[in-house]
Amino acid sequence: MIRAQRRPRSRRTVALGLGLTAVLVAVTGCGDDDDAPAGGGDGGQVTLTVNVFGNFGYEDLYKEFQASHPNVKIVERGTGSDLSNYTPALTRNLAAGSGAGDVVALEEGIMIQFKEQAQNFVDLGEYGGNDDRGNFLPWKFEGGQASDGKKLIGLGTDVGSMGMCYRRDLFQKAGLPVDREAVAALWPDWTAYVNVGNQFKAKNTGAKWFDAASNTYNTILVQTAGKSPGYTYFDRDNNLVVDSNPAIKQAYDQMLSMIGQGLSAGYKSFSDQWNAGFKQGTFATIACPAWMLGYIQGQAGEANKGKWDVTSAPGEGGNWGGSWLAVPRQSKHPKEAAELVRFLTSPKGQIAAFKKVNNLPSSPVALDDPATKAFKNPYFNDAPVGEIFGTGAKELQPVYFGPRNQAVRDAVENTLLAVQQGKLKPEEAWARAVRDAQQAAR
Amino acid sequence: MSVAAPCTATGTTATGKHRSRVRPGHTRREDTVSTDVTTAGPARSTAPAPPVGETRRQRRRHLLARADTKLSPYLYIAPFFVLFAIFGLYPLVYTAWVSLHDWELASDEHPWAGLENYSRLVTDPVFWNALWNTVGIFLLSTVPQLTLALFIASLLNRKLRGRAFFRLSVILPMATSVAAVSIVFSQLFSRDFGMVNWLLGGVGVGPIEWQASKWSSWSAVATMVNWRWTGYNALIYLAAMQAIPRDLYEAAAIDGAGAWKQFTKVTVPLLRPTIVFTVIISTIGGFQLFTEPLLFNSGSSNYQGGSLRQSQTVAMYVWENAFVKFDFGYASAVAWVLFLIILVAAAVNFVAVRRLGGRD
């Protein structure tokens, strides 16, 4: 009797429960759109998602920011990922209107592409970003402005001034000096670098002189193009000038000659084999923008600590890499996100990141800071990296990149790889490079 | 939605069937109820109508019963087609729509382009190179794979010690993730420290840079595919072989057929429907090959499949256009052509394999 009475009620309860659940699902489903992307909701709690590639070295800075902003929780995504995967994902997320997070890193080669989509980003000027102008090298600050120059979409993180990393053990084996200053004196320019390379090759250490055509070529290119005309594959009107910019042909020919002399290990950069090469010591030198130090340390590992060293690069100047931080328009917390960007890109934030992963500051204040100047990298045999990379960083002449820079650069560098592989005749390589570049720019 | 609709459909038709079949002598009320539930709109409007003659009601009941037997099977399979329409057909049609536009991801305007993307494709050497690569890798992977699977299956079909163990172990490669497989194989095929080059070095060959040539990169990628799928196909063949009556083999043996003759004259012809199935599945998979060649060509611009696009497949070219160049219009056109090519290739293979064993 009792049971019979209870049954309908329990059924009703179940029905009610189901109905409520459905309503809850519906409500929370909608609620997600207006609230924080994850874990938001209770009492102004804000979760900021920071999307990066590679390693920005911000862990300690996040902790500091969270300590001064108890309602903010920071989550970093994409740490260690490479640009060729990061950029497409970011572009997709921006176009889709969700998933890009609250703070995104924009690298110099892709910055122009995103500057043309200024509508996707918050104007940091609205959150006091323009007050930070003096914190940055002038070109770095201007680099973060939208194409029309009105909107500020990004604040600079680092610059990629050039150094040259080398293996002490291999230099010793080949009877070359290992001391930093002495090594730098070996190669005032690239011709001297090639000559030393041939000396090294004659000693048959089993290793090649440098890692990959693409890296060394790109270094020579940004150095040459930096002096004149100030751009590489695209001119400032975004016309493809691969076949008319003398800087490109000059760097390309120089590289073909180096390949012809058997100095390159012939790797494809960022491939598994290239990574293994750091550990196995299959090449003696590698062109090193500041951020490369962190990469080498990661790939070569603790076992090779002290074997690598770094000194100044042949030639003058040259900037390769460096990034900006921006806040996508889709962020639910633009105010907090902009505040975080200003904090991370402040001179203090830049110095902390430099000490952590050697990303060279884009702030003259940070570059001049004694903490930066005196900083030595224990992994690279206590090399004074602050001094090596910081010297001349303020005089850096950046080069301009067009919107399809990455695709064109890949196309040209791939032909150099093919020459190394013996699949393309050196005398046919340039024509092919121009053709592929034109195709890639379409 | 897609779940709720079939539930009601199933419930009502079942009731209708039950009533009309089990209880022929019925009350009018019951009839109205079942009518009302079984069919939707038009039936409901006739339901409250005053009772007419017995014949008319009977006729209607008859019609309903017929509709039930004819239509309800379609309702039962409707969930699949509803899901297919949402997740299969819609993207397909939408892709076709996109392919007729100049569709840049970042821009807000997508002007109509007609067949421009398709005509561009016809003269695009990179596309034809990718197609050639895809066909090459497909042949290098499918032909040895299915042949090997057939032999493995016939071995496993014998009385072996630990048969269950061997049967299980052939599908083990399938359980591993394709990313893990690709990474391990990329290391095996590494130029400087790879095991394959080390072994070849033992007989005085190499070192080979596997990514550098077409033949070598195709072989390496095909090896990954073969390693992963041979066991799966072997198991399918094995299942089909077990359905072949033993007495056929006995009769063949009495006629003096040896093991090889039995295999070619009894096993293979009787497996033909299964072979057709595996060939078509392999064709679809082979033409969509993406992950293996992508991971094999690690490093920057890996989507190009090598310095001169030695092992770029059509699927990788779709990806390059969509997610590197953000030219969705052209990428969609390539994707649609790939779809059509797969249909044609599957049809050609179907016909070819059916003819393979002669009559029947």
Closest alpha carbon within chain B to A207:
B192
Which tens digits make up the pLDDT trace of B206-263? Answer: 789 999 999 999 999 999 999 999 999 999 999 999 999 989 999 999 999 888 899 9
Of the partner residues A92, A280, A439, the one whose CB lies closest to the CB of residue B193: A280
> What residues of chain B lie within 8 A of the CB of A407, using their CB?
324-325
Closest alpha carbon within chain B to A417:
B307
Cα separation of B360 and B43, whole Å?
49
The CA-based diameter of chain A, rounded to the nearest angstrom, is 102
Helix axis angle for B328-356 and B272-287, nearest 10°, is 160
Region of poorest pLDDT, from A32-46, A61-75, A387-401, B248-262? A32-46
pLDDT of residue B51: 53
Among residues B137, B105, B130, B103, the alpha carbon closest in space to that of B316 is found at B130
pLDDT of residue B50: 52
- What is the overall mean pLDDT for chain A? 86
Q: Region B121-125: what's the mean pLDDT?
A: 93
- B89 Cα distance to chain centroid: 15
Torsions phi, psi of A376, nearest 5?
-115, 140
Whether A116 sits inside 8 A of B106 (CB atoms) is yes
Query: What is the CB neighbour count within 10 angstroms for residue B114?
Result: 10
What pLDDT band is residue B161 in, cutting at 50, 70 and 90? confident
DSSP state of B85: I
What pLDDT band is residue B10 in, cutting at 50, 70 and 90? very low
Q: Region B125-132: what's the mean pLDDT?
A: 95
Whether A269 sits inside 8 A of B302 (CB atoms) is no
Whether A92 sits inside 8 A of B307 (CB atoms) is no
Top mean-pLDDT range of A193-197, B6-10, B31-35, B61-65: A193-197
Query: What is the CB neighbour count within 10 angstroms for residue B266?
Result: 19
At residue A420, the 3 state secondary structure works out as: helix
Q: Assign residue A46 a region (left: φ > 0; alpha: ψ between -120 and 50; beta: otherwise).
A: beta
Burial A404-442 (b: 16+ CB within 10 A, else e): bbbbbbbbbbbbbbbbbbebbeeeebbebbbebbeebbe
Q: Which amino acid is at B213?
A: S
- A193 Cα distance to chain centroid: 26
* Predicted confidence (pLDDT) at residue A236 exceeds the cutoff of 80: yes
Beta strands of A18-127 (E only): which ranges?
A: 46-51, 72-77, 103-107
* Predicted confidence (pLDDT) at residue A259 exceeds the cutoff of 50: yes
Contact A73, A43 (CB under 8 A): no
> B44 vs B212, which has greater pLDDT?
B212
Reading the block at residue A188, the tokens are 């005032």
Which tens digits make up the pLDDT trace of B61-88? Answer: 888 888 888 888 899 999 998 999 899 8
Beta strands of A85-171 (E only): which ranges?
A: 103-107, 154-156, 158-159, 162-167
pLDDT of residue A79: 83
Of the partner residues B126, B192, B308, the one whose CB lies closest to the CB of residue A273: B192
Of the partner residues B191, B213, B325, the one whose CB lies closest to the CB of residue A407: B325
- Closest CA–CA distance from residue B213 to any residue of chain A (Å): 7
Tell me the sheet residues that pair with B91: none
Among residues B195, A269, A418, the alpha carbon closest in space to that of A277 is found at A269
> What residues of chain A lie within 8 A of the CB of B187, using their CB?
272
- What is the overall mean pLDDT for chain B? 83
pLDDT of residue A60: 94
The CA-based diameter of chain B, rounded to the nearest angstrom, is 97
> What residues of chain A lie within 8 A of the CB of B209, using their CB?
266, 421
pLDDT of residue A211: 94
Q: Does A88 touch chain B (CB under 8 A)?
A: yes
pLDDT of residue B25: 41
At residue A360, the 3 state secondary structure works out as: strand
Computed over its alpha carbons, how large is the radius of gyration of chain B? 29
Whether B307 sits inside 8 A of A407 (CB atoms) is no
Cα separation of B335 and B124, whole Å?
14
DSSP state of A58: -
How far from B244 is each of B148, B151, B232, B359, CA to CA, in Å?
Answer: 20, 16, 19, 18
Of the partner residues B106, B209, B297, the one whose CB lies closest to the CB of residue A95: B106
Whether B193 sits inside 8 A of A271 (CB atoms) is no
pLDDT of residue A153: 94
DSSP state of A436: H
Which tens digits make up the pLDDT trace of A287-329? Answer: 999 889 988 988 898 999 999 999 999 988 788 888 999 999 9
Cα separation of B164 and B230, whole Å?
17
> What residues of chain B lie within 8 A of the CB of A115, using their CB?
none
Q: Does A73 touch chain B (CB under 8 A)?
A: no
Closest alpha carbon within chain A to B327:
A442
Q: Does A147 touch chain B (CB under 8 A)?
A: no
Percent of chain B beyond pLDDT 70?
83
ipTM score of complex? 0.77
The two beta strands, A323-326 and A154-156, are antiparallel
Q: Which amino acid is at B63?
A: L
At residue B34, the 3 state secondary structure works out as: helix
What pLDDT band is residue B53 in, cutting at 50, 70 and 90? low
Whether B307 sits inside 8 A of A417 (CB atoms) is yes
Whether A410 sits inside 8 A of B304 (CB atoms) is yes
What pLDDT band is residue A112 in, cutting at 50, 70 and 90? confident
Contact B148, B297 (CB under 8 A): no
Cα separation of A40 and A73, whole Å?
9
Reading the block at residue B79, the tokens are 């969930």
Reading the block at residue A13, the tokens are 């309860």
Region of poorest pLDDT, from A26-35, A172-181, A365-374, B255-264? A26-35
> What residues of chain B lie within 8 A of the CB of A266, using their CB?
209
> What residues of chain B lie within 8 A of the CB of A414, using their CB?
301, 304, 307-308
Of the partner residues B209, B299, B326, the one whose CB lies closest to the CB of residue A274: B299
Cα separation of B310 and B220, whole Å?
12
Q: Does A214 touch chain B (CB under 8 A)?
A: yes
What pLDDT band is residue B45 in, cutting at 50, 70 and 90? very low
How far from B191 is each of A206, A260, A267, B163, B200, CA to CA, in Å?
Answer: 15, 20, 10, 39, 11
* Predicted confidence (pLDDT) at residue A85 exceeds the cutoff of 50: yes
Cα separation of B75 and B57, whole Å?
25
* Predicted confidence (pLDDT) at residue B108 exceeds the cutoff of 70: yes
Contacts of A53 (CB under 8 A, 6+ apart): A78, A81, A82, A83, A85, A86, A105, A107
Which tens digits make up the pLDDT trace of A9-58? Answer: 444 444 444 444 444 444 443 333 333 444 444 458 899 999 998 889 89
Of the partner residues B186, B299, B323, the one whose CB lies closest to the CB of residue A88: B323
pLDDT of residue B42: 44
Cα separation of A226 and B293, whole Å?
37
At residue A111, the 3 state secondary structure works out as: helix
Determine the length of chain B: 360
Contact B137, B311 (CB under 8 A): yes
Q: Does B301 touch chain A (CB under 8 A)?
A: yes
pLDDT of residue B52: 54
Cα separation of A269 and B301, whole Å?
10
Q: Does B311 touch chain A (CB under 8 A)?
A: no
> What residues of chain B lie within 8 A of the CB of A116, using their CB?
106
Which tens digits make up the pLDDT trace of B324-353? Answer: 888 899 999 999 999 999 999 999 988 888
- Quick one: B229 exposed, middle or buried, by C-beta within 10 A (0-12, 13-18, 19+)? buried
Q: Region A379-407: what's the mean pLDDT?
A: 86
Instruction: State the alpha helices, DSSP H only, in A228-268.
Output: 246-260
> What residues of chain B lie within 8 A of the CB of A423, using their CB?
212-213, 307-308, 310
Q: Does A255 touch chain B (CB under 8 A)?
A: no
Whether A424 sits inside 8 A of B301 (CB atoms) is no
What pLDDT band is residue B358 in, cutting at 50, 70 and 90? low
Q: Does A410 touch chain B (CB under 8 A)?
A: yes
- The secondary structure of B69-84, three-state, reads HHHHHHHHHHHHHHHH
Q: Does A350 touch chain B (CB under 8 A)?
A: no
Whether A270 sits inside 8 A of B298 (CB atoms) is yes
Closest alpha carbon within chain A to B330:
A442
Among residues A213, A422, A85, A418, the alpha carbon closest in space to that of B298 is found at A85
- Closest CA–CA distance from residue A421 to any residue of chain B (Å): 6
- Closest CA–CA distance from residue A433 to any residue of chain B (Å): 11
Q: Does A272 touch chain B (CB under 8 A)?
A: yes
Contact B173, B145 (CB under 8 A): no
pLDDT of residue B356: 66
Burial B145-154 (b: 16+ CB within 10 A, else e): bbeebbebbb
> What residues of chain B lie within 8 A of the CB of A94, using their CB?
106
